[in-house]
Amino acid sequence: MSRRGLLLILSSPSGAGKSTLSRRLMAWDASLRFSVSATTRPPRPGEQEGREYYFKTRAAFEAMVAEGQMLEHAEVFGNLYGSPRGPVETAMAEGRDTLFDVDWQGGQQIAHAMGRDVVSVFILPPSIAALESRLNGRGQDSPEVIAGRMAKAQAEISHWAEYDYVIVNDDVDRAFDDLVTILSAERLKRERQPGLADFVRGLNREFAAR
């Protein structure tokens, strides 16, 4: 049965477990791919065109925005970043799903551009204390950076109600099972199975031949 691919948006405050869940989801289904962003910043050593990013001049990037070829975009520290529409639509037509790791603003832009093809999930921590403990447990950031992440987390969490689904990640195995359940159910929606009409017509032909 043919299927139309979907766009899966995962958002969360830093430390809520989004990256872990994304990695596990992609290991569960090897056909699932992260959206490759476009950027105006120069490539770093070892980065390849189309793997880490699509590297664009500012003029080329702005032209893509003007022509509606970006699903979402933003400027960060003087460089433009965005999600090109073309590769995502190709994946959808081939029945493959695309995973997006974006904040609520990017998610809103994508949802506005792609409508019912989008499934959005927000990951919540079980408590603010647990969130701070996870950030400290990484051992990667200074106290100042962690304080900044915690301050940003409150603003991010305030947008939870704008998502289709919300998962409280108090147990990563259970949260992963919930995420798989969501994706599996969304894949089975009638509008994502364009081959169903032909399949049912075939059933009706079988009835007529009896």
> CATH number for the domain including 145?
3.40.50.300
Q: What is the pLDDT of residue 163?
A: 97
Count up the domains in the chain and report the number: 2
Same domain, 89 and 183: no
Structural domain harbouring 55: 36-95
* Position 136 pLDDT exceeds 80: yes
Arithmetic mean of pLDDT over the chain: 95
Same domain, 76 and 121: no
Q: What is the pLDDT of residue 1?
A: 73
Q: Domain of 43: which CATH number?
A: 3.30.63.10
Confidence category of residue 133, pLDDT binned at 50, 70, 90: very high
Nearest in space to 169 (alpha carbons), one of 202, 116, 121: 121
Same domain, 103 and 164: yes
* 59-94 residue pLDDT tens: 999 999 999 999 999 999 899 999 999 999 999 999
Q: What is the pLDDT of residue 43?
A: 96
Same domain, 116 and 192: yes
* Position 129 pLDDT exceeds 80: yes
Mean pLDDT score, 14-20: 93
Same domain, 59 and 115: no
* Position 146 pLDDT exceeds 80: yes
Calculate the alpha carbon distances from 172 to 16, 18, 74, 133 in Å: 10, 10, 31, 15
Last residue in a domain, options 95, 116, 143: 95
Last residue in a domain, options 59, 74, 95: 95
* 151-183 residue pLDDT tens: 999 999 999 999 999 999 999 999 999 999 999
Same domain, 63 and 141: no
Same domain, 54 and 150: no
DSSP 8-class letter at 42: P
Same domain, 162 and 142: yes
H helix runs in the chain, sequence order: 18-28, 58-66, 85-93, 104-114, 128-138, 143-157, 172-187, 196-209
Q: What is the pLDDT of residue 117?
A: 96
What is the pTM assigned to this prediction? Answer: 0.91
